Structure 1
Amino acid sequence: MVAPAREWWTTDALAASGLPDVPGTRQGVDALAARLQWRAHPEQARRRAGRGGGWEYHWKLLPLRAQTALLKAAAAPAAPEVKAEARPSRDEIWAWFDGLPEKVKETASARLRIVQLVDQLTGPMGRHLAVEAVARQEGKGTRTLWLWLSMIDGVDPADRLAYLAPRHRAAKPRRERAECSQEFLDWLKADYLRLGGPSFSSCYDRVVALCESRGVGFLAPRTARRWIEDNIPRVTRIFAREGEKGLARCFPPQIRDRSTMSAMEGVNADCHKIDVFVQWPGISKPVRPQIVAFQDLYSRKILSWRVDLDPNKVAVMSAFGEMIETWGIPEHCLFDNGREFANKWLTGGAPTRFRFKVRDQDPLGVLPMMGVKIHWATPGHGQAKPIERAFRDLADRIALDPRFAGAYVGNRPDAKPEDYGSRAIPRDEFLRVLDEGIRVHNARQGRLTETAKGRSFDETFAESYAQSRIRKATPEQNRLWLMGQKVCKLHRGHGSLTLFKNGYWADWMNEYAGQEVVARFDPENLHAGIHVYTLAGAYLGQAGCREKVGFFDLVGARLQAKAERQRRRAEKDILDAMRPVSVRDYAAELDKVPEAETPLVAAKVVDLDAARIRQPLFSREMPVPAADPVAEERHETFVLEFRRSETASPEPAETDSDRFRRALAIEERSEAGQPIGAAEAEWLRTYQMTPEYTRQRMLFEDFGEAGLG
């Protein structure tokens, strides 16, 4: 085909050409060239060599309608010949095609279909007749089809789609850009991008008032808002106006896989205030109690729970103890950083605990002593505590239970029901409904978690629990969580310990007099005795509570004197065993040692006072005491009584077997329904908590009376 008379066009010439789809201004032509990337084709775009410089563009870069007008003017009868080097490379054309709108891609697909029809008819009737036949069938011009064929001349059939895409789209009329001062934009950003999140309208009004007073330019409201959205990223805007919490919402939460875990591998715990008014014994006004719950991380089953007026370490230890007794010892615990969980009874000694002052003499908590790894959830981040999801379920299904109608207080201060405060549930009834609700929560079918897969939490937990290696607590470990703990210093003289105005002592405590120890006790029964540990957690022994006696109580005084005599006798026996050689025998051995000969040394100077030598050593006469028959008789009587007490047989000390037999006798009387004294019952309860009772019980159960010796 014949090319147009003019092949290269400047921007001024194109603006003045009046060609269709070509802007009528130089700026418009430049914008069209930039949008369609004319300068990316070095064979069809070049620098003008004449005066003034600039760019020249080949007519094949013009929009399709403009090219058609030029071809009509040149009366070109045949299809244009497109040189292979004028086309972009295969990678470039596909990269450009991938960024086109879907509508343009559909146009390229329609062109490819027509070109494929031409190829099918070319064999039987020839190229020219095929083009004319398809043009009549599809309602297209023959010149258009020849243009499409020239666009894919020599192109691999697999790449025809990209090359047939429209290369030039009509340029939209360019809008004039609104002008404003830089001060306006800076002030608008300073007012709008700040914590508190002021509305855009209020910020705009303040900045406009300031600009008018200073005489600087500003944008229209919609333009200013669009400028903020186009030039400041959304995440940056949210972070500036909402802080770190808003920034965290811009990113998806971390997804933690629990399918690789097992039952009791990890638990988490938290507190939740019940949205129900409860009538608590001893308190006149209704209260909203708190629930402390432990949840299995694998199955999400609630394992144990306790209810109290407020979250405290006693409730946490009690719920933790129930979980240990019922299910076993977990390997990991995820806690909130609240004071009730970060208490020294439970987590003392944990390296990452950031509550309370940490001291070197602090005792180890129950969890570090049991080898449980402690993890602290991010404060104020509910997604880090899976049990929060369970609390939301409890708030919906338990707090709104029909049996709590009238006592529900709402889940927010501004969501109080109309019957707010009209009723308070008795504590026992509340606990019964709460226990029922938690059981239903664990047994509900259709759970869609990654581990339940349509089953209930109970079934999910039971299946994994049966196949997992569970650590069970020993009686010694049970003693840890059952009791509170406090660091105390033993008396430096006799080793006794004073705790909450109660005295505790055992004979073994003398060995640790003056040392700091850890006293573990039952907070609900301080008279039951205490168990004493070192600061490192080693068990020392049990100490009973010392009872006070009346000032003139003769029986108490006699018992005390008897105990002191027994202690003296026992210590004398121990001392004799520790000292097999008496002092007299040792002195006799010393007498057998021959005296060393002392060499005589003659004094060089001797000064003797003969007068002093002749005088007696005592010049004063010493008086001789007169004999008193009454005193001598009293002395002889005391000596006889003392010798008689020494020759009398000593009272035998109570052995381990004797104490166990005494405990068996009290237990048999109790089982038979016979009354026992309060002192005996308290002694039996304290004795049953000692290792001695456990050892004697095992011997008695295995060997009977013969095992007691």
Structure 2
Amino acid sequence: MNSVREWYSAQDLAGLPGMPGTDRGVRVAAEREGWKARKRQAGKGMEYAVSALPADTRRALQSQQLDLALTSVSTATVTPPTPAVLSGAVVVHAAPDLSDLTDRQRLERDARAGVLTAIHKLQAGSGCSQEAALTTLLINARAGQLDAHVDRLLRLARDPRGRAGDGYPSVRTLKRWLSATDLAPKGPRTSMKVPTWAKAFLAHYQKPEKPTVQQAYDAFLATLPRGQHPSIHQVRRFLDKLGAVTKERGRMGDRELKNIRPFVRRDFSLLVPNDVWSADGHTFDAEVQHPMHGRPFRPEITTFVDIATRRAVGWSVDLAESSMAVADALRSGVERYGIPALIYVDNGSGYKNAFMNDAATGLVGRIGATLTHSLPYNSQARGVIERLHQTLWVSGAKQLPGFIGAAMDREARLEQFKLSRRALKQGGVMPLMPWHLFVQWCETRIDEYNARVHRSLKGLSPALAWANFEAKDWVPHTMAPAELDTLFRPRVTRTLARAEIRLFNNIYFARELEEFHGTEVHVAFDIHNADQVWVYLPDGRLICRAQVSGNTKHYFPTPVIEQARQKRAKGRLARVDVKREEILAELHGAEALPALEAAPVVIGGRVIQREAALAKRTADVADAEPIALSQPAAKPAPALSRSERSAADNYAEWLALDERINRDEPVSEADARWHASYPTSAQFKAHSKKLAARSNAA
């Protein structure tokens, strides 16, 4: 920092205003006028005190000091000054909460700190007052004599929201900055006050029908007295202040809101294979040929995935989701990869049933695993298996000729649907994959998925990730084939009666069960073969095998799978009967449920009285008066709305309505609103000008 000089030599003073042009002339003038002098501290000669010099010379020396101080400011780092440097200058504090500042506010705050640093350096370097430093700084800036860096700081520090001026702050503004503790400019603050009408409006806006703002506003106005309502613009500004979740609450259900709310990512880095398996069923997005009758249908695929390695460990294909399909997929996984510790599934009927969960006979309990269900409608918690469906089955379905998924164009999807139905009706080649080829295709897709690099595994494939765990001496807990056959036969609890067991409409019999009459036992069965069952004591000891008896309900035993098919067929036939009854009721006018007596029905904008419509439908056709074809009955023309009528008709109606209002006659609220708003419309103004021009011409 430059200190204020008090002594100058003849060489320094020569040529300045009020001084001779040479060194000798300065020395002669000093001796003649008796200036205060002293010997130079370095070198020869004398130097003279500033206080003894003429006024013009002192002003010139002060201007030199000012230019030198500003030059040093331009090369210095612009930081808020400290007391040690400024010798008692005011300390500038930053904004207490920087998170509330915009980029523009931060830029202006830093520029103002730099301007204050330049002012304090100017004061210290020239020895002038604060007022003089402020004035000098602005004068030099406006004259274009200020350093470019400081000039830029001055322009950035000024709040652009004020008057334009010359682009520089005023002396008064600089003084305000010097005394301020927060240099950040004040930004606009949005008022978060909730209007008194907000709750009433949101009751019309936050509905699952998702009305537009205008529709909700119109319904809201109908509930308020005339003249006591906000404008549509106030309503829109209020909605803009609401958060995304708050605004959509009521318009979206809890399940849909989860798509825009925060979520928790689960870490699986500490898991090892078979710690957690997740499973889910997926209705395939392409049609294939039914294994029984060859007609088009969409099969159900159940897949188990290991969370630690993302490996698809088990799968099965069935006609529909069921506990048998889940058991088959679980069996394939346990056979190949071992027993999982925990199975994480949804609340579907295929997983939440006694066959899977029963403490004594449930499949999961017998293999030693724990079945855990996610919260209802919370598929996000099982994102791994949901993502697998997209990668494995949805993308694969797009490669097949029978794809009819949601991603397909609607017209193309309909054409694909008609193509297969046309082949059924008219004969020809079915453009769908046969069942046995589809099962082979699923096996190939599983192998390709397990061999492909997975992003969450950091460049590894599921198969390679599994192999890495095995290389670290991890060994899965597997089962012998004979043990698998025993465990994966579904079990149910039955009570023996005279050595007979009744199961799925079949009767099984064994002489070894004679002494166990009235005893509750566990019965294991094969879902594909109904010829025999296995009978166990509750502690797990095998009693015997019971063969199907001759006095069964069916002449031949019916396997469980076949019974399930029959049950599904009966359900489909029942739905056909319901549809048939509905068509007949519509044809003859019969009612399914009694309706309110005075409740009219609105169809296509027409109001239909229910009783009158039914009476007309059931009336005898012979009683109706015939109408000649050459003279069709005239139908009254529907009334036109105000937007469809001409300007002359609307103007005439407004005049009539205005006359009624002037006579204090009652009018409807809709007519009153139209009477108030129509004079501001372009149609009213144009028609008024047209009438005025006619009257002037007349």
Counterpart contact for 1:196–1:242, Cα < 8 Å? no
Relative to structure 1, the CA distance from residue 430 to residue 220 in structure 2 (aligned partners, 3 Å threshold; closer, same or farther) is same
- Displacement, 1:282? 2.5
1:411 aligns with 2:414: no
Match of 1:331 in 2: 341
Alpha-carbon distance between aligned partners in 2 of 1:110 and 1:163, rounded to the nearest angstrom: 15
Match of 1:197 in 2: 210
Pairing partner for 2:387 from 378, 386, 389: 389
Match of 2:524 in 1: 520
Match of 2:547 in 1: 545
Matches within 5 A, 1:281-320: 281-320=291-330
Pairing partner for 2:287 from 270, 274, 277: 277
Match of 1:78 in 2: none
Alpha-carbon distance between aligned partners in 2 of 1:437 and 1:517, rounded to the nearest angstrom: 42
Relative to structure 1, the CA distance from residue 248 to residue 164 in structure 2 (aligned partners, 3 Å threshold; closer, same or farther) is closer
Match of 2:445 in 1: 437
Pairing partner for 1:479 from 474, 485, 499: 485
Relative to structure 1, the CA distance from residue 458 to residue 112 in structure 2 (aligned partners, 3 Å threshold; closer, same or farther) is same
Pairing partner for 1:448 from 429, 445, 455: 455
Pairing partner for 1:165 from 183, 189, 193: 183
Relative to structure 1, the CA distance from residue 538 to residue 481 in structure 2 (aligned partners, 3 Å threshold; closer, same or farther) is closer
Alpha-carbon distance between aligned partners in 2 of 1:272 and 1:96, rounded to the nearest angstrom: 52
* CA deviation profile, 1:535-563 (whole Å, cap 9, x unmatched): 4x5223332426769xxxxxxxxxxxxxx
1:225 aligns with 2:225: no
Q: What SS class does the counterpart of residue 462 from structure 1 fall into?
A: helix
- Displacement, 1:478? 1.5
- Displacement, 1:168? 7.5
Counterpart contact for 2:367–2:487, Cα < 8 Å? no
- Displacement, 1:378? 2.6
Relative to structure 1, the CA distance from residue 545 to residue 287 in structure 2 (aligned partners, 3 Å threshold; closer, same or farther) is same
- Displacement, 1:506? 5.2
- Displacement, 1:524? 1.8
Alpha-carbon distance between aligned partners in 2 of 1:103 and 1:205, rounded to the nearest angstrom: 40
- Displacement, 1:421? 4.7
Alpha-carbon distance between aligned partners in 2 of 1:478 and 1:181, rounded to the nearest angstrom: 68
Counterpart contact for 1:181–1:217, Cα < 8 Å? no
Alpha-carbon distance between aligned partners in 1 of 2:550 and 2:186, rounded to the nearest angstrom: 106
Identity %: 22
Matches within 5 A, 1:41-440: 94-95=95-96, 99-120=100-121, 125-127=126-128, 132=136, 136-138=145-147, 148=174, 152=178, 163=181, 165=183, 187-211=200-224, 214-230=225-241, 233-349=243-359, 363-385=360-382, 386-401=384-399, 404-405=400-401, 407-411=402-406, 415=410, 416-417=412-413, 418-422=415-419, 423-440=431-448
- Displacement, 1:456? 1.1
Match of 2:14 in 1: none
- Displacement, 1:111? 3.2
- Displacement, 1:116? 3.2
* CA deviation profile, 1:102-134 (whole Å, cap 9, x unmatched): 334323322333443455566664446977477
Relative to structure 1, the CA distance from residue 190 to residue 474 in structure 2 (aligned partners, 3 Å threshold; closer, same or farther) is same
* CA deviation profile, 1:642-696 (whole Å, cap 9, x unmatched): xxxxxxxxxxxxxxxxxxxxxxxxxxxxxxxxxxxxxxxxxxxxxxxxxxxxxxx
Counterpart contact for 2:276–2:306, Cα < 8 Å? yes
* CA deviation profile, 1:218-267 (whole Å, cap 9, x unmatched): 2221122223444x554333222223224333422221111111111111
Matches within 5 A, 1:666-681: none
* CA deviation profile, 1:499-553 (whole Å, cap 9, x unmatched): 453433253x3453320111102122233x4322234x5223332426769xxxx
Letter in 1 for 2:361: L
Matches within 5 A, 1:633-652: none
Matches within 5 A, 1:466-505: 466=471, 467-474=473-480, 477-492=483-498, 495-499=499-503, 500-505=505-510
Alpha-carbon distance between aligned partners in 2 of 1:514 and 1:104, rounded to the nearest angstrom: 87
Alpha-carbon distance between aligned partners in 1 of 2:169 and 2:369, rounded to the nearest angstrom: 83
Q: What SS class does the counterpart of residue 542 from structure 2 fall into?
A: strand
Relative to structure 1, the CA distance from residue 88 to residue 369 in structure 2 (aligned partners, 3 Å threshold; closer, same or farther) is farther
Unaligned residue ranges in structure 1 (runs of 5+): 1-86, 154-161, 350-362, 550-709
Alpha-carbon distance between aligned partners in 2 of 1:181 and 1:238, rounded to the nearest angstrom: 19
Relative to structure 1, the CA distance from residue 291 to residue 481 in structure 2 (aligned partners, 3 Å threshold; closer, same or farther) is farther
Counterpart contact for 2:303–2:315, Cα < 8 Å? yes
Letter in 2 for 1:487: T
Pairing partner for 1:532 from 526, 529, 535: 535
Unaligned residue ranges in structure 2 (runs of 5+): 1-88, 155-165, 420-430, 552-698
* CA deviation profile, 1:302-332 (whole Å, cap 9, x unmatched): 1121111112222221221111111111000
Relative to structure 1, the CA distance from residue 246 to residue 275 in structure 2 (aligned partners, 3 Å threshold; closer, same or farther) is closer
- Displacement, 1:365? 0.4
Q: What SS class does the counterpart of residue 322 from structure 1 fall into?
A: helix
Counterpart contact for 2:113–2:183, Cα < 8 Å? no
Counterpart contact for 2:92–2:182, Cα < 8 Å? no
Alpha-carbon distance between aligned partners in 2 of 1:339 and 1:504, rounded to the nearest angstrom: 31
Match of 1:605 in 2: none
Match of 1:16 in 2: none
Match of 1:464 in 2: 469
Alpha-carbon distance between aligned partners in 2 of 1:314 and 1:150, rounded to the nearest angstrom: 81
Counterpart contact for 1:504–1:530, Cα < 8 Å? no
Structure 2 length normalisation: TM-score?
A: 0.53
Letter in 2 for 1:222: H
Alpha-carbon distance between aligned partners in 1 of 2:548 and 2:294, rounded to the nearest angstrom: 37
Q: What SS class does the counterpart of residue 294 from structure 1 fall into?
A: strand
- Displacement, 1:497? 3.6
Letter in 1 for 2:348: G
Letter in 2 for 1:336: D
- Displacement, 1:453? 0.5
Relative to structure 1, the CA distance from residue 542 to residue 465 in structure 2 (aligned partners, 3 Å threshold; closer, same or farther) is farther
Letter in 2 for 1:208: L
Alpha-carbon distance between aligned partners in 1 of 2:445 and 2:186, rounded to the nearest angstrom: 69
Relative to structure 1, the CA distance from residue 97 to residue 438 in structure 2 (aligned partners, 3 Å threshold; closer, same or farther) is closer
Alpha-carbon distance between aligned partners in 1 of 2:314 and 2:99, rounded to the nearest angstrom: 59
Matches within 5 A, 1:10-25: none
Letter in 1 for 2:405: G
Alpha-carbon distance between aligned partners in 1 of 2:395 and 2:169, rounded to the nearest angstrom: 75
Relative to structure 1, the CA distance from residue 147 to residue 475 in structure 2 (aligned partners, 3 Å threshold; closer, same or farther) is closer
Counterpart contact for 2:361–2:493, Cα < 8 Å? no
* CA deviation profile, 1:481-504 (whole Å, cap 9, x unmatched): 431223222235xx4545453433
Relative to structure 1, the CA distance from residue 200 to residue 474 in structure 2 (aligned partners, 3 Å threshold; closer, same or farther) is same
Match of 2:596 in 1: none
Alpha-carbon distance between aligned partners in 1 of 2:543 and 2:300, rounded to the nearest angstrom: 36
Alpha-carbon distance between aligned partners in 1 of 2:226 and 2:294, rounded to the nearest angstrom: 68
- Displacement, 1:152? 4.8
Alpha-carbon distance between aligned partners in 2 of 1:249 and 1:399, rounded to the nearest angstrom: 26
Structure 1 length normalisation: TM-score?
A: 0.53
- Across the two proteins, how many residue pairs are aligned to each other? 424
Match of 2:636 in 1: none
Alpha-carbon distance between aligned partners in 2 of 1:282 and 1:530, rounded to the nearest angstrom: 26
